[in-house]
Amino acid sequence: MIFFKKNCTFSFAELNVLVKYNHCEFKKFASDYASDEKPDFKISINGRDIRYEKAVAVEAKDAPDWYHETTAVARKFCIKAAEYGVILFHCSAIAVDGQAYLFAAPSGTGKSTHARLWRDMLGDRTEMVNDDKPFVRFKDGVPYVYGSPWNGKHRLSSNISRPIKGICFLEQGAENHIKRIAPREALPRLCRQIFYSRNEKKFGEIMNVAGKLCSSVPLYVMQCNISREAAEMSYKTMSEGE
């Protein structure tokens, strides 16, 4: 396969990166994040990168090459961005009145559904930051969540950042129950939902941000069903910082 490189600068989590990509679909995929600023660093995607993403894909193995190029860009960006204190967090991030709430869970548990219930309940007070894979970084000691083009099957995201008010780890349950947990209990749950590198130095950089995040915001575990009552319970608890 012959690849013809194309160049464009994008801004993810306030990092400007010059991406050398192969498929025009990638530029369309990330168009909301295009930037005219001088890049902080560069990444380049080749055929080997795309073949690797196909090989390790859990889902969408039969997706077109351009799709696998998007995951290759995400991987290379995350590895380099760790040097700047940026991590990718598999969660649904919704903002209410300018404050972000993050819902994390294994795929299929219902984090996107829970965020939708918040949108239905709170209406125009909400902003959808990202429904699947936002970025997190600290600014002046405050953790912020950032939109990204890696936003899940519903393609819900905005090119915005909001300070993080709280993080909730969701579990399916017949009844609704939420409790606050300590950072040491939350960290293993968080680590299952972040991108990490096998490189020891990069892994340490990523874990440093993860640990700092757990120590900086209220953390919760919630067993819940798919109901408005569940959304009301989580919003009341998290918005009041209980």
pLDDT-derived band at 5 (thresholds 50, 70, 90) equals low
pLDDT-derived band at 2 (thresholds 50, 70, 90) equals very low
Q: Tens digits of per-residue pLDDT, 54-86?
A: 999 887 778 999 999 999 999 999 999 999 999
- Full set of structural domains in the chain with CATH: 6-84 (no CATH), 87-239 (3.90.228.20)
Q: Using an 8 Å Cβ cutoff, are 103 and 164 in contact? A: no
Asked whether residue 4 carries a pLDDT value surpassing 80, the answer given is no
Contacts of 198 (CB under 8 A, 6+ apart): none
| pTM reported for the whole predicted model | 0.94
Q: Tens digits of per-residue pLDDT, 161-211?
A: 999 999 999 999 889 999 999 999 999 999 999 998 888 888 999 999 999
Quote the CA–CA distance of 10 and 195 in Å, as a whole number: 20
Provide the terminal-to-terminal Cα distance of the chain, rounded to the nearest Å: 56
Strand partners of residue 222: 170, 178
DSSP 185-235: HHHHHHHTTB---SSHHHHHHHHHHHHHHHTTS-EEEEEE-SSHHHHHHHH
